Amino acid sequence: MTMMRANVFQAKNKFQMMEVPRPKAGYGEALIRITLTTICGTDLHIVRGEYPVRPGLTIGHEPVGIIEEIGPGVSGYHLGDRVLVGAITPCGQCAACLSGHPAQCGHGAGYEAIGGWRFGNTINGAQADYLIVPYAQANLAKIPDDVTDEQVVLLADIASTGFSGVESGGVKIGDSVAVFAQGPIGLCATVGARLMGAALIIAIDGDERRLGMAKRLGADIVLSPKETNVVEDVKRLTGSGVDVAIEALGLQETFEHALRCLRPGGTLSSLGVYSGKLQIPYEAFAAGIGDHRIVTTLCPGGKERMRRLIEMVRRHRIDLTPLLTHRVSLDNIQEGYRIFGDRLDGVLKVAVKP
């Protein structure tokens, strides 16, 4: 039996590199040899026991690789093709997919999932030498020769998520936008707001390095809640509040501040993953009659979404490589988790290269 390395979740705060059997591509599947992946904040939630997955599962959901095997029922691809695979892998055929909500795909035969997030959640993920891609016909996006792995690896999850928060929020040319939290997803939301034509982008975070990166990526004004009353400052800067507030952390405090920063009729676009009880103060919500809109988004996936994002990289409209602040080998992934989890040395994203 051919073996491979994989980063396997075992129990709360316990995960390790193991030798596991190398899988084979079945019907509708493809096997890719991973050439680059990452450590994500969701991976931290998993290893800390904050998001439950089964013991023995390989972690990770941001894959770039080379096709090694193509299963029956998959056409238009060749062995050796470089591909990007989204963190969300829609089947393309279920009611959610056919209704225009592929991120909420959960009805594909044999893959039970929350939405379309399967890698490192309900099936083995990308922190390994090889990865099985389900519904490969719908999920393999070819990478052009003039684009590097590092240029596209963040498109699989955080870029697609951050941009989608801006899209769901309906940001238009000339809008004012406040982005709460400038972690990797919040920074991508900041980039997305610029792409969509926002006239004023206010980035909010308590970390000076992250605020510096936000300025570098297009924020006009940066605010730290450690130094100022953010809600008062946003109201002062905009007059009546922002058109769109994006919450990218998943805390009661940032959600509430984002809501309080809205103008009447504004939109709160929520990207954070919340735990515990989330409350909406009635006065911040104008007692429910302020014409506010609250929208939530799960990372869009699928090969067409990935193709479009790759094209933005290829045409030099976006460059997310500054977010890859640290790099480790697969064998040294424990150190990568330590750096990322403890937020050491200004870390934003850790790239993992088998």
Distances (CA, A) of 321 to 61, 232, 332: 18, 34, 21
At 110 the pLDDT is 42
- Helical residues (DSSP H) of 84-170, grouped into ranges: 95-98, 136-139, 149-152, 158-168
Question: 320 and 218 in contact (C-beta within 8 Å)?
Answer: no
Rounded Cα distance between 247 and 181, Å, is: 7
So what's the pLDDT on residue 289?
Answer: 86
Phi, psi angles (nearest 5°) of residue 43: -60, -40
Q: Give the C-alpha separation, 281 to 86, whole Å.
A: 36
- pLDDT means over runs of 10, the chain (354 residues): 94 96 97 98 92 95 98 97 97 89 71 74 96 97 98 98 98 98 97 98 97 98 97 97 96 95 97 84 85 94 97 97 98 97 96 96
CA neighbor of 244 nearest in space, from 222, 223, 219, 270: 270
Of 106, 119, 110, nearest to 9 by C-alpha is 119
Q: Which two tokens stand for residue 317?
A: 């409209």
What pLDDT score does 107 carry?
Answer: 54
Which domains does the chain show, CATH number per domain? 3-157+299-353 (3.90.180.10), 163-296 (3.40.50.720)
Non-local CB neighbours of 54 within 8 Å, separated by 6+ positions = none
Provide the token pair at 229: 């009353």
The pLDDT of residue 33 = 98
Global confidence as pTM: 0.94
Contact (Cβ atoms closer than 8 angstroms) between residue 140 and residue 85: yes
Q: Which H/E stretch holds residue 227?
A: none
Q: Are strands 30-39 and 64-70 parallel, antiparallel or unpaired?
A: antiparallel
Q: Which residues are within 8 A (CB) of 68 and not within 5 positions of it... i.e. 6 or more apart? A: 31, 32, 33, 79, 130
Q: So what's the pLDDT on residue 286?
A: 84
